[in-house]
């Protein structure tokens, strides 16, 4: 009998679901149990995603009628607002849950409702949900039953600024995060936003001043600083499939120089296997397909401002990879197990 | 005998040169005289740029030995450092010059040398060179003999911030310009920077804290405010051919709201035919191939900051189109003559 | 009072409609009358297509209730199956019609029904519809009241092979046309086929063995040869916005060599202003945004086969530009009037 | 002491070299020994390819002075014409060699010189070199000391046609292979061919009638048919990083239908783990980053022709992956060992 972790993917028609399968199918300690899709329950997973032919050919099931008793962990790759129903339904079972939606990332149902314009049906969940960013919350994740996997923009943004906030050397009103994401962040569902000729050879900002990920960034940075934080966050849509590059600007308090800044970052991310503090600006392809976050902290002595560049693959470190990283911690595995993908470049 | 303006293009092997030809060949008041290229003087222009076959098939010449006596205007599409030689050489002739290089954009040879790391051989030129941004300097351009055509990033950046500086409602230390450009800004010369697989599906920042266009922006905004200005300017390389999108952040002094901000921009650009102040975020393709600068000023009441999005085609409004606009002013033509290209979308 | 041709665009929400507007708005002999859109009749044209702000801001109307009495020409940019309704409705009026759909391109309603899997409601139309390819049917187009504008693939394919068929030097069973098109050929409507991440960094064949454009090519080539023709036609989807490149393979009868082949093509397209017979392989950008078809006929003496490369912009020569070319002929204007766009490269 | 295979990569500055490292670094039975680069021998591998930071940081060495005595296998990722020098130099040592250049793929030095326009300095090598296509030559590869790894286009082309030739159901004069490749096939060296704006939004054919891979295809298909074969092969350059799609056309002898054709392909590739015979047209992303070749054989009953679509990742199945596959066979490992990468889509 297998000692492998039985893991199921709830919601596999989208990019996050298929990326989970890409990682889990090759994870040495995992056996994929169920994969669900409400709209394609009559098909095999590889009918939907032909790249998996010969690897993951399991029959898709409906989540509604799924028996999860024998599973060890569930990855919920569902839209926000839908995920909470299933979290609630499975809350009292022994199965652990990593929820990749935005439903349990914030601190309260009230904040959720304000930013997501939606009522929350499971306030209880906020009490024990752990924000699944291993670089900040290792111990809590190890003990968690419900992990709220971070958003893609927040992952790139928070990691790029966490050292400054944790060390309290930042003027918190000064933060501007100008972030750029590939289109897979907008999902697999067709819409004018992701119509080829609207994205290709094009570039634009969106959600200016009001994107939901703003509050997620503010809450996490606020926890580090132990006071409320407000940031300026502007997302943009890049004509690429994968990747987020965040350019963060911060005024710092006290003396600073390039060496000091770099050391501060290196010390903070010491022993964090998926953050690479670098001496030059990262590009998206330096991390594509991998669970890395590459960070370059730059001190502009002319203007007296820190500029921090961070790059992730939004589907890996910004979603499925980080979720599997959390699973590794929850099941006492080596942090990097099953996550040793070398970035695909070119 | 033709009454058309005789215009020559000096340096036609690159993108700026070919874009000048694209515009001038269809300009109703212009007759293209000479086109030069040092490295291809044995070919026809359309051998170099096959898209022009049947339109512009003239024999290329060497600039060194060119007789420009009979020309009315010369467009210099040469690298910086090279352009100054020709400007000096032709300075005392009656021919007017629009220089598209960076050689005469700044206020003095000293500033030039500091930012371009290069000596200047024609200090005299700075005295009569006019910065060729028609929205700011119409009257001077009309009388100019030597126009220094603005850089591409400065065009998008200055236009996006000029109203705030001209009206003196800005906290000048707060300016952050996060700019993104297509690769034609890096020119036609092959290099790892513009190797397909280094750009495609990729994105990165470069020249962080030290890009030459910074000082050009600072000088022009400083003139509007009548005091020295320092801005944070970060360029990024987009995987697209054409276009610059600048996302500018500014703290303002005094009361502000969305309506007031929009009105301020609309008033400033009133009667400026190539700036379109909009009510939503522009994308690169909204202006591609045209001489427009589309601007969306947004007031974030939550953070108390103005965010201004501006989009141009770097080869048109950011180079050849703006140069022809200057020519129209210098020769007393209608501002929009020969520049009525509708953006090519998709 | 204006002597300009009053032209209306019926169906302006798509790419063909907006490309017609891009061309007609700058056509010196045309005044745009009505522009219709059933789904957006409450908006201005530039609300739908913001690149037109300041150029074409007319209120959209509904085609159903349109009064076309005072118009000289109507461009129908409607889906096939819809277009025939309007052609029938306006058939007896004095207004001329250029139909850009596939409804009247074939020789009979029976052939139409076989390939389009749809009944035809206006068989009468086939009697007087003229196939609008000016290089083959100039005289008929000049006298036409109803022009069926060619499909995009057929334009590139037929032009690349017409000289061989007209001169009857081809083995007609040998024709293989391997064609590649940008995604605008699939239209503006969102679908998985044109979802960014399904197209970007990707490439595939589709419609293998059964694409509707096959019969259009076969009928036109058959007319030239005066016998029935069967061709192998395989379309592919390129990750670019615009452009079709057709690689056509043909065995020829009789002696052939490179010079003879080139001369045959040059003679056939002599005085055809929009076909450029070249001595090297064309690329999509050599014609992008223009009404050109660039053709390179190559004789492979090793295999004894002719390989012909042809490139067009599918939205211009493959749609709107060819339609305006037809209009120029129908109204006795210079063929190139309003169509002098130089290809936009890069 | 490790029982792992000691493998070195000779020539690691290019795409093939880095792709070998990507695969070998995660291969459970391999230990990377040396990595060489003549132009960067002073750097670490990850300085050159930053995506490898933390994975492969070994110091680069010069191949000229390399001691290969203790190595088990060498992967030569060198340009053709250079590779033969090293193959000759190391020919008498016990180390096995997989040569990824074109130097030993053909049947004789004479054929090589004719197609590569270059003398061959090591004719001896042709006697024992084995063409490293595991689907055709498993037994020979298992015993080989020198494997000539197939070219990228030949891999896609030969696999798509091998069943028809092996079963002798093809009219061999009828073969047309219209192939399209991503730009990494043109290598990492900068040139106008791979300059971003020359490739992006563009598409063209090249090497028409004379590409070197033609003879490689002809020789291998000829061996299957046991007679000389001539094919028409036309490569095209796609604006994507990775992937080859070959569209092959063949007239067949005897009766054929869709079912029979599919069965013929399925039987031929039975037990071949990296060929997936499919029921629909493959796209590049279905195989990207993986060692798969996806093939769709289609019977066009209207024209009586077989059309075969095949897709590979040119850097994996078309280069580094196939090389490692050969290594697995040469060292008696499971064929798929270290090659279980699931295609990265999107």
A26 in B contact zone (CB under 8 Å): no
Q: Please state the rounded mean pLDDT for residues D160-169.
A: 98
Q: Domain with A116 in it: what CATH number?
A: 3.40.50.720
Residues of A in contact with B212 (CB under 8 A): none
Max Cα distance, chain C (Å) = 64
Size of interface C-D (CB pairs under 8 A): 129
Judgement on whether residues C124 and C13 belong to the same structural domain of the protein: yes
pLDDT bracket for residue B164 (50, 70, 90): very high
Using CA atoms, how far apart are residues D230 and D221, in angstroms rounded to an integer? 9
Taking the C-alpha atoms of residue C217 and residue C151, their distance in angstroms, rounded to an integer, is: 9
Contact A196 C200 (CB under 8 A): yes
Report the DSSP pairing between strands C244-250 and C176-181. Answer: antiparallel
Residue C196 and residue A196: Cβ atoms within 8 Å? Answer: yes
Tens digit of each residue's pLDDT (9 = 90 or more) over A205-234: 999 999 999 999 999 999 999 999 999 999
The whole-angstrom separation of Cα D236 and Cα D226 is: 29
Task: Answer whether B240 touches A (CB < 8 Å).
Answer: yes
Q: Which pLDDT tens digit goes with each residue over B253-302?
A: 999 999 999 999 999 999 999 999 999 999 999 999 999 999 999 999 99
What's the CATH number where D214 sits? 3.30.360.10
Report how far residue C158's alpha carbon sits from residue C173's, in angstroms, rounded to the nearest whole number: 15
How far is the C-alpha of D37 from the C-alpha of D78, rounded, in Å?
10
Q: Please answer yes or no on whether C180 and D180 come within 8 Å at the CB atom.
A: yes
Residue B346: pLDDT band with limits 50, 70, 90? very high
Q: Are residues D176 and D64 in the same domain?
A: no
- Residue A29: pLDDT band by 50, 70, 90 thresholds? very high
Convert the pLDDT of each residue in B33-43 to its tens digit. 999 999 998 89
- Is C199 in contact with A195 (Cβ distance < 8 A)? no
Per-residue pLDDT at A101 exceeds 80: yes
Region of C36 please: left (phi>0), alpha (psi -120 to 50) or beta. Answer: beta
Is D276 in Cβ contact with A342 (below 8 Å)? no
Residues D212, D216, D220: CA angle, nearest 5 degrees? 165
Which helix (H) or strand (E) segment holds residue B101: the answer is none
Considering the domain boundaries, does residue B101 fall inside one?
A: yes
- Domain ranges, residue B242: 152-314
Q: Report the distance separating Cα A219 and Cα D274, nearest Å.
A: 48
Q: What is the DSSP letter of B52?
A: G
Instruction: Tell me, yes or no, whether C335 lies in a domain.
Output: no
- Mapped onto helix, strand or coil, the DSSP state of residue B178 is strand
* Chain B CB within 8 Å of residue D204 CB: no
Confidence category of residue D275, pLDDT binned at 50, 70, 90: very high
Q: Are B301 and B257 in contact (CB under 8 A)?
A: yes
Check whether A1 has a pLDDT greater than 80.
no
B239/A238 Cβ within 8 A: yes
Q: Which two tokens stand for residue A194?
A: 């992701």
Average pLDDT of C140-146?
A: 98
Choose, from C130, C152, C169, C315, the residue flagged as catalytic: C152
Residue A213 host element (H or E) = helix A213-225
pLDDT 10s digits, A275-333: 999 999 999 999 999 999 999 999 999 999 999 999 999 999 999 999 999 999 999 99
Q: What sign for the dihedral angle of Cα C15, C20, C21, C26?
A: positive
CA angle B73, B77, B82 (to 5 degrees): 110
pLDDT for residue C23: 98
Q: Is B15 at the interface with chain C, CB within 8 A?
A: yes
Alpha carbons D107 and D103: distance in angstroms, whole number: 10
Residue B331 structure tokens: 């020769």
Minimal C-alpha gap between C153 and chain B (Å): 19
User: B280 touching A, CB under 8 A?
Assistant: no
Output the six-digit token pair for A188: 């697999």
Question: Among A190, A200, A240, whose Cβ lies nearest the Cβ of C190?
Answer: A190
Angle at C178 between CA C177 and CA C180, to 5 degrees: 130
How buried is residue B192: exposed, middle or buried, by Cβ count under 10 Å (0-12/13-18/19+)? exposed
- Closest Cα of chain A to B228: distance in Å? 13
User: What would the mean pLDDT of A49-76 be, rounded to a whole number?
Assistant: 96
Phi-psi category of D249—alpha, beta or left, where left has phi over 0 and alpha has psi -120 to 50? beta
- The answer to whether residue D133 sits within a structural domain is no
- pTM assigned to the model: 0.98
Q: Is residue D320 part of a domain?
A: no
Task: Check whether residue A169 and residue A283 sit in a common domain.
Answer: yes
**Residue A194 sits at the chain B interface (C-beta within 8 Å):** no
Q: How confident is the model at residue C112 (pLDDT cuts 50, 70, 90)?
A: very high
Residue C255 CB partners (closer than 8 Å, separation 6+): none
Cβ–Cβ contact D55 with C under 8 A: no
Q: CB of B197 within 8 Å of any CB in chain D?
A: yes
Q: Are residues B224 and B294 in the same domain?
A: yes
For residue A199, list chain C residues with Cβ-Cβ distance below 8 A: 196, 200
Interval B182-237: pLDDT, tens? 999 999 999 999 999 999 999 999 999 999 999 999 999 999 999 999 999 999 99
Taking residues B66-88, what's their average pLDDT? 97
The C-alpha of D292 sits at a distance from chain A's nearest C-alpha, in angstroms, of 9
Residues C156 and C124 in one domain: no
Q: Is B152 a catalytic residue?
A: yes
Shared domain for A293 and A204, answered yes or no, is yes
The answer for B75, left when phi > 0, alpha when psi is -120 to 50, beta otherwise, is beta
Contacts of C197 in chain D (CB under 8 A): 346
Residue A156 sits in the same domain as residue A252:
yes
Residues in A touching C39 (Cβ below 8 Å)? none
Strands (E), chain A: 5-10, 30-36, 73-76, 96-99, 129-131, 146-148, 176-181, 204-205, 232-237, 244-250, 275-277, 293-300, 305-312
Question: If we measure between CA atoms, which residue out of B201, B280, B186, B197 comes closest to residue B242?
Answer: B186
Tokens of A69: 């008793």
Answer yes or no: do B240 and B284 share one domain.
yes
Q: Does C171 touch chain D (CB under 8 A)?
A: no
Looking at the structure, tell me whether residues C87 and C183 fall in a common domain.
no
Q: How confident is the model at residue C100 (pLDDT cuts 50, 70, 90)?
A: very high
What are the chain D neighbours of C283 within 8 Å (beta carbons)?
Answer: 202-204
* Mean pLDDT on C82-93: 96
Same domain, D103 and D239: no
pLDDT tens per residue, range C1-16: 568 999 999 999 999 9
Q: Give how far Cα C327 sits from Cα of A279, C6, C8, C120, Å.
A: 61, 11, 12, 25
Residue at which a domain ends, from A112, A128, A144: A128
Tell me if C248 is assigned to some domain: yes
Specify whether A118 is located in the same domain as A165.
no
B134: in domain: no
Q: What is the average per-residue pLDDT within D266-288?
A: 98
Q: Which of B6, B200, B216, B178 is nearest to B101 (CA)?
A: B216
Q: Strands of D220-341 (E only): list them.
A: 232-237, 244-250, 275-277, 293-300, 305-312
Which of B242, B281, B305 minimises the CB distance to A204? B281
Any domain includes A343: no
- Does B194 contact D191 at a Cβ distance shorter than 8 Å? no
> What pLDDT sits at residue A131?
98
Same domain, A109 and A65: yes
pLDDT over threshold 60, residue D95 = yes
* Residue D293: per-residue pLDDT: 98
Residues of chain A in contact with residue D282, where contact means CB-CB under 8 angstroms, are 50
Between residues D95 and A3, the one the model is more confident about: D95
Interface B–D counts its CB contacts (< 8 A) at 56
Q: Do A346 and D242 touch (CB under 8 A)?
A: yes
Tell me the two tokens of residue D287.
Answer: 């195989």
Q: Residue A191 and residue D1: Cα distance in Å, rounded?
A: 57
Calculate mean pLDDT across residues C315-328: 98
Distance, CA of B275 to CA of B136 (rounded, Å): 12
* Residue A47 confidence class, pLDDT cut points 50, 70, 90: very high
What is the rounded distance in angstroms from the CA atom of residue B300 to the CA atom of residue B260?
Answer: 13
Catalytic residue among A5, A56, A152, A309: A152
CB atoms inside a 10 Å sphere around CB B99: 27
Strands A73-76 and A5-10: what pairing? parallel
With H, G, I as helix, E, B as strand and everything else as coil, classify residue B78: coil
- Dig out the tokens for B64 from the structure: 């060194």
What angle do helix axes B134-143 and B321-330 make, rounded to 10 degrees? 40
Rounded Cα distance, D70 and C126, in Å: 79
Any domain includes C346: no
Residue C99's pLDDT is 98
Find the helix or strand (DSSP H, E) in which B112 lies: helix B109-116
User: Across residues A236-251, what is the average pLDDT?
Assistant: 98
DSSP for residue A107: S
Whether the CA torsion C86, C88, C89, C93 is positive or negative: it is: positive
Q: How many domains does chain D have?
A: 2
Contact D169, D152 (CB under 8 A): no
Query: Do A209 and B302 lie within an 8 Å CB cutoff?
Result: yes
């Amino acid at each position: 009998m297998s000692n492998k972790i039985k893991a199921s993917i709830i919601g596999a028609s989208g990019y996050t679901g298929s990326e989970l399968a890409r990682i889990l199918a090759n994870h040495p300690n995992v056996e994929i149990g169920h994969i669900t899709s409400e709209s394609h329950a009559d098909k095999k997973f590889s009918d939907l995603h032909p790249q998996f032919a010969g690897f993951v050919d399991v029959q898709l099931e409906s989540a509604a009628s799924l028996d999860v008793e024998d599973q060890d962990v569930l990855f919920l790759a569902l839209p926000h607002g839908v995920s909470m129903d299933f979290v609630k339904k499975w809350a009292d079972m022994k199965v652990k849950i990593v929820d990749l939606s935005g439903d349990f990332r914030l601190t309260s149902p009230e904040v959720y409702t304000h930013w997501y314009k939606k009522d929350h049906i499971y306030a209880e969940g906020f009490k024990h949900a752990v924000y699944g960013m291993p670089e900040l919350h290792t111990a809590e994740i190890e003990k968690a039953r419900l992990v709220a996997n971070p958003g893609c923009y927040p992952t790139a943004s928070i990691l790029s600024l966490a050292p400054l906030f944790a060390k309290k050397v930042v003027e918190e009103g000064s933060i501007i995060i100008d972030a750029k994401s590939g289109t897979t962040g907008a999902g697999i569902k067709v819409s004018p936003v992701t119509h080829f000729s609207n994205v290709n050879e094009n570039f634009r900002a969106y959600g200016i001043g009001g994107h939901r990920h703003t509050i997620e960034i503010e809450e996490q940075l606020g926890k580090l600083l132990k006071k409320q934080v407000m940031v300026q966050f502007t997302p943009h849509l890049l004509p690429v499939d994968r990747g987020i590059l965040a350019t963060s600007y911060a005024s710092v308090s006290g003396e600073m120089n390039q060496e000091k800044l770099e050391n501060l970052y290196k010390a903070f991310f010491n022993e964090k296997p998926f953050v690479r503090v670098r001496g030059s600006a990262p590009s998206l392809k330096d991390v594509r397909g991998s669970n890395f976050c590459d960070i370059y902290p730059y001190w502009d002595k002319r203007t007296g401002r820190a500029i921090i560049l961070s790059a992730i693959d939004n589907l890996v470190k910004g979603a499925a990879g980080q979720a599997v990283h959390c699973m590794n911690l929850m099941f006492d595995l080596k942090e990097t197990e099953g996550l040793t993908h070398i970035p695909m470049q070119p």
